[in-house]
Amino acid sequence: MQRQLKHDADLPERASVAVIGGGVVGVAAALYLAKSGIPAVLFEKGRIAGEQSSRNWGWIRKQGRDVAELPLMIEAEQLWREIAEEVDEDIDYRQGGVTYLAQTEAELGLREAWLAKVKGFGIDSRMLSSAEASAMLGLNTHQPHIKGALYTPSDSYAEPRRAVQAMARLAQRHGAQIFEGVAVRGLHREAGRVCGVVTERGLVRCDSVILAGGIWSRTLLENEGLSLPQLAIRASAMRTSAVSHVSTSTFGATGASIRPRADGGVTLARAGAARFDLVPAAFQHFSAFLPLVQARWQIMKLRVGRSFFGPLGRHRWTMDQASPFEEVRVMDPSPDARLLEDVMRAAKKLYPHLAEARMVESWGGMIDVMPDEIPVIGPVSGVPGLMLATGMSGHGFGLGPGVGKMVAEMATGARPQNDSAAFSKTRFDRKARSAASQAAL
Ligand SMILES: Cc1cc2nc3c(=O)[nH]c(=O)nc-3n(C[C@H](O)[C@H](O)[C@H](O)COP(=O)(O)OP(=O)(O)OC[C@H]3O[C@@H](n4cnc5c(N)ncnc54)[C@H](O)[C@@H]3O)c2cc1C
């Protein structure tokens, strides 16, 4: 039976640190603050892990990561192992490995190039031949296009529907206060310093604020007069009925990505396939995102519709008005049914054990993306008291405990275990300034 979070009736008047957002990042931040004895309060507008953090595929991987993220991911993996031991429920954490198949020589070259780049990190990634990958995963041996695979045996996965809820209960056990159904409308500042959050139920004072709001982070910051080049894209996934054989490793090919599930089925989706619903911020950040759009053009769909004027596009409200966060308690986009049919076809071709499988459930999720697809973690220059932990760019479930711990360390003035320089928001501030000065010439 699903265990429940404790719910306090009254908001505290103050806390040491206020966390905005109850996804994997915010919950991990609250957990590590609480573990170090810091009174933390977390506000979630809907329910814990209602958005991306329960809708993802559940892959926890070092494989394929940007090198800038690897040290933090290595730490995050260790934290996942500890969390899986400490929570009060089985979150289906398994170190079953991650395999990326290569179906063309070009893909094989990319996998090999990544492996060469990460040589110094001491991780156990290695190349497999086509025959080794097919035998290990139980693939269709007549599948003509497998040239080889990149495999990391120590990579893992967990069940997102349970993991973050269980982490939230663990954070409560360590003393964190967690409120669901309480939106933060904005920041409270005195003499330029952030020293509280204005919630829909009133002001809560604090020494610092961590914004871990996923796709809503940019919207909240814009209302505060701050800019963040972050956009949201819509992805789709499904789970199947039980299959005749479940591989230990999760694996991905061009047409389908497959994670074994404890219920005997698999979670199925296609990497990179997403839809972008245009919002006004896309124009403001157009040049920052152009390289990413060019690289992904073939697998991304662009749509211009009502969402342009929707809550994610809203710019301004006052603290006594309902915010977009109260308008959308849980972002629940519809999945792309046509895409998922195609994914199922591709998966059945690759993985014969899916022959009899049917789709049992499908869902959509909105992903927060940064132009360089790595997160923003740390302070905002000129806004003392505010820390960001956002922009996980589609791979923050695995990284989440590491990000939460890093921002918790920063919020309390401690030196983070890993170097945070690559995640600083200033990387965009610098680019924006140089673009503006180029334009002025
Ligand atoms: C289909 C899909 C597949 C994915 N697969 C993987 C995968 O296999 N592996 C992986 O590592 N990652 C994956 N991801 C990405 C991963 O899920 C995210 O990077 C991660 O969950 C982000 O966590 P978060 O805490 O930053 O954001 P979220 O989980 O989005 O949480 C943010 C929370 O903040 C709340 N909030 C926002 N604003 C406010 C406010 N003002 N007041 C109160 N609450 C607020 C929201 O309601 C939300 O619950 C996938 C994502 C999707 C959608």
Q: What is the pLDDT of residues 61-99, one digit of tens each?
A: 999 999 999 999 999 999 999 999 999 999 999 999 999
Q: Which CATH number fits domain 14-97+154-440: 3.90.380.10, 1.10.10.10, 3.50.50.60, 3.30.479.30?
A: 3.50.50.60
Amino acid type, 300: M
Q: Indicate whether 223 pLDDT > 60.
A: yes
Q: What is the location of CATH 3.50.50.60 in the chain?
A: 14-97+154-440
Q: pLDDT tens digits for 324-367?
A: 999 999 999 999 999 999 999 999 988 889 989 999 999 999 99
Atom from ligand 1 closest to the CA of residue 397: 11
Region of residue 148 (left: phi > 0; alpha: psi -120 to 50; beta: else): left
DSSP state of 102: E
pLDDT at 12: 96
| Short-list 249, 247, 301, CA closest to 272 | 301
Atom from ligand 1 closest to the CA of residue 58: 8
Residue 439 banded pLDDT, cuts 50, 70, 90: low
For residues 342 and 347, give the distance between their C-alpha atoms in angstroms, rounded to a whole number. Answer: 9
CA separation (Å) from 58 to 2, 54, 78, 133, 317?
A: 19, 8, 16, 21, 35
Q: pLDDT tens digits for 259-271?
A: 999 999 999 999 9
Q: pLDDT tens digits for 45-59?
A: 999 999 999 999 999
Ligand 1 centre distance from Cα of residue 390 (Å):
9
Q: If you average pLDDT over every residue of the chain, what do you get?
A: 92
DSSP state of 145: T
Taking CA atoms only, the protein residue closest to ligand 1 atom 37 is 213
Residue 8 banded pLDDT, cuts 50, 70, 90: confident
Taking CA atoms only, the protein residue closest to ligand 1 atom 18 is 396
pLDDT at 244: 85
Residue 434 banded pLDDT, cuts 50, 70, 90: low
The answer to whether 160 and 49 are in contact (CB under 8 A) is yes
Ligand 1 centre distance from Cα of residue 214 (Å):
5
Residue 435 banded pLDDT, cuts 50, 70, 90: low
Ligand 1 centre distance from Cα of residue 24 (Å):
7
pTM of the model: 0.95
Taking CA atoms only, the protein residue closest to ligand 1 atom 31 is 23
Task: Ligand 1: list residues with CB < 6 Å.
Answer: 20-26, 43-46, 50-53, 55-59, 183-184, 212-216, 220, 235, 237, 325, 365, 367, 390, 392, 394-398, 400
* DSSP one-letter string for 268-307: EE-TT-EEEE--THHHHTHHHHHHHHHHHTTTEEEE-SGG
Residue 302 banded pLDDT, cuts 50, 70, 90: confident
Can you tell me the mean pLDDT for 398-409? 98
The answer to whether 210 and 176 are in contact (CB under 8 A) is no
Burial tier of 226 (Cβ tally within 10 Å: 0-12, 13-18, 19+): middle
